[in-house]
Amino acid sequence: MSTETVTIQKLGAQGDGIVQGADGPIYVPFALPGETVAIARVKSEGTLMSIASASPDRREPHCRHFGPDGVNGTCGGCTLQHYADAPYRAFKRQLVIDALRSKGLTPEVDDLIAAHPGERRRVVFAARKTEKDMLIGFNQAESHHIVAIEECPIASPGIMAQLPAIRAVGAALAINAEAFRISVLETLTGLDLAVDGIKGLSDKHRRSAIETVLALRGVGRVSLNGEVLVETTKPIIDFSGVQISPPSGAFTQATKAAEEAMVELVATHIGKAKRIADLFAGSGTFSLRLARIGRVHAVESEEKALAALDHAARNTQGLKPVSIERRDLFRRPLMAQELKNYDAVIFDPPRAGAEFQTKELARSVVKKIVAISCNPLTLARDLAILTEAGYRITKVTPIDQFLWTSHVEVVVALEK
């Protein structure tokens, strides 16, 4: 380890400050462009020790767990809480621009749709039982150490108000000192807790845990490793007037504000399309809303998510017909011949993107496509396939769903 003073040149894609050293780039978490800082260096990794000259864009962090002076954050949940709003948002927009340029794409990119504190309705906590306490919090960056939290400015007030109940559920289920995860979703009817990583729960321990949950208020359902332990109230989320009960631990958009922004962009682009395919449909974030516009075919590999979507569609008045298909689109994408039946296609795949499905879309005659992604790099790859086949990008909108991190959501509209 060596100690040296450096001046940060730029931010990297993960939000680390970068300075070019004699033998390659040095990455310095929590440092900002233009700052002169003292670092402890091990190879290409620099630990920020002190700031000799601070950037005018540096600000006091919102949360005590980020670090007392914004120099070295302890909680690993946020990486850019010390960055002023305007340059932070410009950084996220630039991530999208750079990803597109890497594939030779140069469309105009809209300003970032901003996220705000207190919007996160879905949070994944790290948890571990100690001799004295039940730790609920987040892992420190690059570490298995859990930072127990008392506040979290990104999480919804509803989740934070129930932190004692979440801690009680964790304590009731923990059988040893092994770490596990508690995924928390705030719904209209209470919290939905999905616990993963606990094995070997005895029947006696299970009954005791269920009794603990039944005595709590504000917790509607608790599951363990995908199995529902107790459900006092069916969790309900609202998709613009369509109410759905998602399966335990199912994917949902992290914030309702971002979800509604995405839906508005999608609906605006597809216009009055009569036949719509929603690929990687999940529990129906888009399908159930777009069914007010036209007939929707929802394709998804997760059986429980698809069943929840189907149930909601069948029990909501005023929707056009919604058909469902369970299908692994990575292994068996919808072929160009199948896609000819649709006026518009929406696809919102996992971070790996949808390369094989995109190649079939490129061969299709679908007039309008909306691509949605939380990974600008795989999105750029997929968009390049479509543009090479004659599709034109008409709108690119980055959305900040993951406040104070380097993750950014993107919605892209294309036309044949």
**Tell me: the pLDDT tens digits for 129-146?**
998 899 999 988 777 889
Which helix (H) or strand (E) covers residue 95, if one does? helix 85-101
Is 249 in contact with 196 (CB distance < 8 Å)?
yes
348 is in an annotated binding site: yes
Q: How far is CA 75 from CA 95, 140, 164, 290, in A?
A: 24, 5, 19, 39
Q: What are the chain's domains? A: 1-58 (2.40.50.140), 90-116+253-415 (3.40.50.150), 122-237 (2.40.50.1070)
Is 306 in contact with 247 (CB distance < 8 Å)?
no
Q: In a 3-state reduction of DSSP, which class is residue 64?
A: helix
Is 125 in contact with 184 (CB distance < 8 Å)?
yes
Helices (H), 256-375: 256-270, 287-290, 303-314, 336-339, 355-362
Is 319 in contact with 298 (CB distance < 8 Å)?
no
Residues in the chain: 416
Nearest alpha-carbon partner for 365 in 415, 404, 311: 415
Nearest alpha-carbon partner for 336 in 369, 300, 365: 365
Nearest alpha-carbon partner for 192 in 251, 241, 148, 239: 251
For residues 103-113, one letter each, b for 16 or more C-beta atoms within 10 angstroms of the residue's C-beta and e for the rest, the string is bebebebbebb
CA torsion angle 63 68 72 74 (round to 10): -50
Q: In a 3-state reduction of DSSP, which class is residue 48?
A: strand
**pLDDT at position 67:** 64
pTM strictly above 0.85 = yes
280 is in an annotated binding site: yes
Q: Residue 227 corresponds to which tokens in the numbers above?
A: 């199995």
Is 313 in contact with 245 (CB distance < 8 Å)?
no
Q: Residue 323 corresponds to which tokens in the numbers above?
A: 């058909």
**How far is 203 from 225, CA to CA, in rounded Å?**
15
Beta bridge pairs of residue 239: 242
Enzyme catalytic residues = 374
CB atoms within 10 A of CB 243: 15
E strand intervals along 54-162: 122-129, 134-139, 146-148
**pLDDT at position 165:** 96
SS3 content of the chain, % helix, strand, coil (to 5): 25, 30, 45
Is 213 in contact with 230 (CB distance < 8 Å)?
yes
Q: In a 3-state reduction of DSSP, which class is residue 246?
A: coil
> Which parts of the chain register pLDDT below 50?
68-72
Q: How far is CA 47 from CA 18, 31, 182, in A?
A: 12, 9, 30
**pLDDT at position 68:** 44
- Residue 326 has φ and ψ, to the nearest 5°, of -85, 120
Beta bridge pairs of residue 222: 193, 230
E strand intervals along 130-201: 134-139, 146-148, 180-187, 190-196
E strand intervals along 208-311: 219-224, 227-231, 237-239, 242-244, 275-279, 295-300
Nearest alpha-carbon partner for 281 in 303, 254, 256: 303
- Our separate counts of H helices and E strands in the chain read 10, 22
**pLDDT at position 76:** 75
**How far is 152 from 54, CA to CA, in rounded Å?**
26
**How far is 376 from 105, CA to CA, in rounded Å?**
12
Which helix (H) or strand (E) covers residue 10, if one does? strand 10-11
**pLDDT at position 66:** 85
